[in-house]
Structures are given as structure tokens and as C-alpha cells.
Structure 1
């Protein structure tokens, strides 16, 4: 099985000002976000990745660039619409403080599977297309590069959370329990019998163990020995 490293983009000007950017063009990383992306690129430099797939939005392509800057070789760099930001419709561009007063806000927090953003997409639809895109790329990477291959997907907070929820076997209504910070790293392997979530929401720590970690078909009963 291949390994996918899920990276959220670094902090943006919209994040810092409490605005729901959505798919608004021209939203870029701020100074802190660039520093976060550099740090993530440095963490991933010890892992030879075969592909860096990015959401088409600028903040993700910027973050992907910092990852690619530290990679040797020539990873492929496709843009994937399936992992683009949720279409928040009429909510896009409004402040989170303002949106928290909307009746739909409580449903977003407690029952996201029932949410369709006015003028936008449903959260269930968002998860379905994101998971399908990640699994499609993962299968293609494994078919081309073998089960030990590692690749990166750079996307958005709600997208990464929804992919992790699926990998963890969680209902979408529980996905708000997952935190995904700016430029954080989460790691998933899809196996023949089940996905395996190796890490979530990390922003520090050595990842060199991914170079030598042999994917296992079965879970280690008792937890196993871990990596050195």
C-alpha cells in the first residue's frame, strides 16, 4: 500500500482575520503561513515523495511549492479539483463571527451530514468527492511506484478532516472532533482490508521513519513495536 501525507495549507490572510475564504481567488499565505509551510517542507525533506498533488487554490499551490523546494528528484505535481476547498456558497467571504449567528451554524457543528451551504455544496458531497480523489491518486501511485511509495496531498482544513474521518471509520457528523491546523501533517495508508491512520495534525517531529517503514497488510495485535 502507498502512503499519503495530507498537508493543510499554511495560514492565510483570511485565516488571520477570521474570514471564511472558501474558493475566493487571490487568498495567499501570510508571513506566519509561509514560515509554517517552510517548516513543513523541511520536515518532509527527509522523505522522498513521488508526487505532490495540490488543490487548485493559490494557498495550497504556495504550500506545495515549499514542499517541492526541499525535495530531490522530480515528483509529479498534478492539480486536483477533487480536493479543492468546500463550496461554501453564500457563506464565502463572510466573517466567522457573523456566520456563528446563522441558524445553520449549529448544524455545521453538530450534524454536518445534513448541511448544504446556501448557494453551495453539501458537506456530504464535499467528503465524497475528496475521498474519491485521494483514493484514486493513491491507487495510481501504488500501481506506478509500488507499495512503499509516499505522496503528498495539499488541501484545506475541512477537506483533510473529512478524509481523515473516512479513514478512521467515523461518521461525518463526528468530523468536527478532528483538528487540522495550518500546514499540519497527517498520514494515511489505504490497505486491502482497511485504512491505517499513522498520524494526525502534527506540526513537528521527525518523519524519516517513513523511508524505511514497511507497510503491513494486517494490524499488529497488541500495538506492535512501532518505528525507531
Structure 2
């Protein structure tokens, strides 16, 4: 019978893009970071994670996340080859991609999607169940590695992803409502997790602690 294992998961959102500034839904469009607007937040994140050692490093395969990972230098510092992971992509916003709230607000299907807290399928895109299925598959891979590595120290994992991905992880691990679980660009969360392979609960993942990344200025010495 496999024993429970500990995982420290740090998930951060990519830096600022032009579509972020214009408040457009990006989804799975391969948008690049925009400079100099992205630089200050990326530098703050780089400093916050400096010196940390990660066992595994993952990134969404979209360019804005790959650029964020390169900027913060975690892979180079750890000497670890990152895995570029399609399962960590943003929600597929389908027909909404490239559009703003003002361009969509009068569409009945958009209002229904908002009211469903993302559970209704977006025309030409994805719904909450699709996002959860992707993340379940990815977390199962992380759990498998944690069980194989074993040991008393937590498996430490960095994931560079998107706002919707981190919203869903916060909903799962922190019991925060999906629409309330936002994080800013080049910001994220740190979770102390336990994976129990033989758990009788519905979810084998249990969170004992969560915190903001970077830490709020008021929380730093």
C-alpha cells in the first residue's frame, strides 16, 4: 500500500500581454508578453523565487508562459529541463477570444456562461469540466512522480500557467469561488499538499496551507 506523499506546488501566472492591457480574452491564442509593461512584475517574481530549488518545472506550452519561465530563470537556476505542458493552457475561450467584456456583454450565450460560473460550454470552446479534466490528468502525473520519488521531503513543483488554471486550482485547494480566485499577472499561489493514494475522500489531494506568490509587501520583513 503506497504511503501518503507531500508536494509543495507553486503555480504562477504569466506576465503582462497587450491583450491583458486591452482586457481581451486570450484563451489559447499564442500571445507574447509586452514590454516594458511586463517587466516590473516579472522582476518581482524572479526575486521572490530566487534561490528556490524545484524538483519538477512545468510550463504551459504557450509563448507567454514560456517567456515568463525564461525571464524568472527558474529552469536555468535549477538545472532542470522544463516540461512544456498543453494541459496547463488557459481555458479555450472559443468565439470569445480576442473580444472584450463590452463586446460580449449583450450576447445571451455570454451572459449564460457568466451566470453558470464557467460551467456552460463556450461556443467553439471549453467549459469548466474540460479544464478540470486536463488538470486532473496533469496532477495525476505529478502524484505518480511524487510516489516514485518518495522520501520525507516534499516534492517541490513549479508550474507557469494562466489565470483560469490558477482559479481552478484555488477553487480546488482553497475552496474559493471560481470568479473570486483571481491572481494578477506574474503572481500566483503556493500550496502545501498531501497526496493520499488510498484516500477514501473524493479528492486524494488535501491542502494544509496556501499563500500568495510573491508574498504581499506587508508580509515581508
Q: One fold, TM greater than 0.5?
A: yes
Q: Deviations over 1:188-211 (max 9, x none)?
A: 2331264216335443359xxxxx
- Structure 2 CA distance for aligned equivalents of residues 130 and 113 of structure 1: 15
Q: How many Å apart are 1:44 and its aligned residue?
A: 0.7
| Aligned CA distance change for structure 1 residues 135 and 39 (closer, same or farther; 3 Å) | farther
Aligned length: 204
**1:186 aligns to what SS in structure 2?**
strand
The reply to whether residue 198 of structure 1 matches residue 209 of structure 2 is: yes
* Structure 2: unaligned runs, 5 residues or longer: 1-5, 200-204
Q: Deviations over 1:172-221 (max 9, x none)?
A: xx311212111112012331264216335443359xxxxxxxxxxxxxxx
Decide which of 28, 33, 57 is 2:33's aligned counterpart: 28
The reply to whether residue 189 of structure 1 matches residue 192 of structure 2 is: yes
Matches within 5 A, 1:110-189: 110-112=115-117, 114-141=119-146, 143-144=148-149, 146=151, 147-169=153-175, 174-189=177-192
Q: How many Å apart are 1:53 and its aligned residue?
A: 0.4
Q: Deviations over 1:22-69 (max 9, x none)?
A: 222243243232321221121111321122200011110111112325
| Aligned CA distance change for structure 1 residues 39 and 156 (closer, same or farther; 3 Å) | same
Q: TM-score, normalization: structure 1?
A: 0.78
- Structure 1 CA distance for aligned equivalents of residues 147 and 51 of structure 2: 20
The answer to which structure, 1 or 2, has the higher relative contact order (CA under 8 A, 6+ apart) is 2
Aligned 8 A contact 2:173 2:206 in 1:
yes
**1:199 aligns to what SS in structure 2?**
strand
- Structure 2 CA distance for aligned equivalents of residues 42 and 197 of structure 1: 25
Structure with more of its chain in strand, by fraction: 2
Q: TM-score, normalization: structure 2?
A: 0.80
Aligned 8 A contact 1:48 1:71 in 2:
no
| Aligned CA distance change for structure 1 residues 13 and 42 (closer, same or farther; 3 Å) | same
Aligned 8 A contact 1:45 1:71 in 2:
no
- Structure 1 CA distance for aligned equivalents of residues 173 and 49 of structure 2: 22
